[in-house]
Structure 1
Amino acid sequence: MNKPIHIAEMRKQLDIAAIRKQLVNLKCWKLKTGDIIEYKGWLVKSGHWRGGTHRLINPNNRQIREVRDVCIFEFMGAEIYM
């Protein structure tokens, strides 16, 4: 397990990954049910700072998912804290 990182640092790294077209791995909670959703090897398309969200694209089938930053609890193997 990697060293925990702050949510602000995670947001910066997501934005950098979007610019560099890098694949990311993250885990987040689904708000309605609390289920854990794991995104392995997804591309970051864009981020919305004011809305607190990031859009992810599955490179295999081009599915787009929007994830709330506060729901992400693990990014690239590192836990997220606020």
Structure 2
Amino acid sequence: MKYMHNLSSIAIDGKIPIIVTNIVRTINKHEKENLEESISMYIHTKIKLSKNNNGYSCQAISPFANKQFQYTITSKGLTDQS
């Protein structure tokens, strides 16, 4: 986890956002992130992208505020549907 500590220091010192991806598994209808406990102490905001009946959903989860919205995928990237 020294790598994650160094990466966090670079992000904080340089005031730059860094996105780290992680694998999420579903076991018996329960979602589990790989290395969840280890990685969670270094992150500020989680972004969860998922597919649902209405298309695609994004959840931004942080200690300060949680946001959720529907989006579409276009040639320009992710586009908010609201």
Tell me which protein shows more strand as a share of its residues: 1
Greater RCO (CA < 8 Å, at least 6 residues apart): 1
> What TM-score results when the alignment is normalised by the length of structure 1?
0.32
Name the larger-Rg structure: 2
